[in-house]
């Protein structure tokens, strides 16, 4: 069921993607066309196919990235090559993209990949962006990622929340893994959303939803649960990153997963919060066991596969 306001339905398409890719929001009303977030690198051809199918003979004029985690910007390069479109990124990420610092951009830190892309402009909190024939306010949304942004259309009462608010939670609070503040920022973002006039939320993952109050209640509850014991955030992060990688490559040996956990900064930080370095193997065995019992992965000897 399309929950978008009637005035947006003809011009706005939400491509709800699987967990390897973020959702993509294609806005084709007004004078130009734009896409908000572009999915993961391995899904880039699919992203391009979806855009081509919807736009037909029209060209894509603009990419807008809410933040630069690999599952939100992995299609940038292919879309830029195809359409020579403009690209707007969070202003605080400009130097890292210009220098293509994969460590600062968290691609190496999470064991993920992203093809190099450029940008033609930046966005920051307080800006206004014309998309799909309507004005959207750019709102800072740190917590999940220090650089993340949301887009709010007051006229249509619609919020593109990225990973700051899902129907049942929010994205991993990555700053907390490395001793930086993230829980307080996420609470402030939830408080901000609660004060907005919003009837529909388009999240970074999952279907658009209308019961914003219930989603906020669920998010506050989860945040309180994580803050009560930060190891819970670390455990969730490690599991999410393991499953994400397995969804990309389908299967890995246990030793390969262990090596990735030791080399990728965010995974290593999460593991360090849960066990001493000398107990890394036992920790990973425990995590894989829990994922297997939960039905997320299967284990065949030394090979771990995604279900």
Q: In the chain, what are the domain boundaries?
A: 6-228, 231-306
Q: For the segment 28-56, what is each residue's pLDDT rounded down to a tens digit?
A: 987 899 999 999 999 999 999 999 999 99
From the options 1.10.1040.10, 1.10.10.10, 3.40.50.300, 3.60.20.10, give the CATH code of 231-306: 1.10.10.10
Q: Which of 231, 91, 123, 212 is nearest to 173 (CA)?
A: 231
Q: For the segment 85-124, what is each residue's pLDDT rounded down to a tens digit?
A: 999 999 999 999 999 999 999 999 999 999 999 999 999 9
Q: For the segment 239-255, what is each residue's pLDDT rounded down to a tens digit?
A: 999 999 999 999 999 99
Instruction: Give me 145's structure tokens.
Output: 């990622």
CATH class held by domain 6-228: alpha beta
Please report how the helices 76-83 and 44-55 are oriented relative to each other, as an axis angle in degrees rounded to 10.
40
* Overall pTM > 0.85: yes
Beta strands in the chain, from DSSP E residues, in sequence order:
12-15, 24-27, 34-36, 62-64, 86-90, 121-123, 128-131, 134-140, 149-153, 158-162, 200-203, 251-253, 297-300, 303-306
pLDDT (mean) for 143-157: 98
Q: Is 169 helix (H, G, I), strand (E, B) or coil?
A: strand
């Amino acid at each position: 069921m399309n929950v978008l306001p009637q005035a947006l339905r003809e011009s706005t398409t939400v491509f709800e993607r699987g967990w390897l890719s973020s959702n993509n929001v294609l806005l084709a009303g007004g004078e130009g066309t734009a896409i908000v977030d572009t999915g993961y690198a391995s899904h880039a051809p699919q992203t391009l196919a979806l855009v081509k199918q919807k736009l037909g003979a029209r060209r894509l004029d603009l990419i807008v990235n809410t933040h630069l985690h690999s599952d939100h910007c992995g299609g940038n390069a292919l879309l830029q090559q195809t359409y020579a479109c403009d690209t707007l990124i969070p202003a605080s990420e400009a130097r890292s993209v210009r220098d293509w610092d994969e460590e600062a951009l968290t691609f190496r830190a999470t064991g993920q990949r992203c093809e190099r892309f450029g940008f033609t402009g930046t966005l920051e909190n307080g800006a206004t962006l014309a998309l799909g024939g309507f004005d959207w306010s750019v709102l800072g949304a740190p917590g999940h990622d220090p650089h993340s942004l949301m887009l709010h259309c007051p006229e249509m009462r619609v919020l593109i929340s990225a990973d700051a608010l899902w129907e049942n939670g929010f994205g991993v609070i990555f700053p907390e893994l490395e001793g930086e503040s993230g829980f307080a920022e996420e609470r402030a973002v939830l408080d901000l959303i609660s004060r907005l006039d919003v009837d529909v939320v388009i999240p970074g993952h999952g279907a658009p939803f209308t019961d914003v109050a219930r989603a906020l209640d669920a998010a506050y509850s989860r945040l309180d649960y994580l803050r009560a014991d930060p190891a819970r955030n670390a455990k969730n992060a490690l599991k999410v990153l393991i499953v994400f990688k397995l969804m990309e490559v389908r299967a890995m040996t246990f030793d390969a997963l262990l090596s990735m956990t030791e080399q990728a900064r965010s995974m290593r930080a999460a593991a360090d919060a849960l066990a001493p370095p000398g107990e890394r193997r036992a920790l990973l065995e425990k995590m894989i066991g829990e994922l297997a019992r939960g039905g997320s992965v299967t284990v065949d000897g030394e090979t771990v596969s995604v279900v």
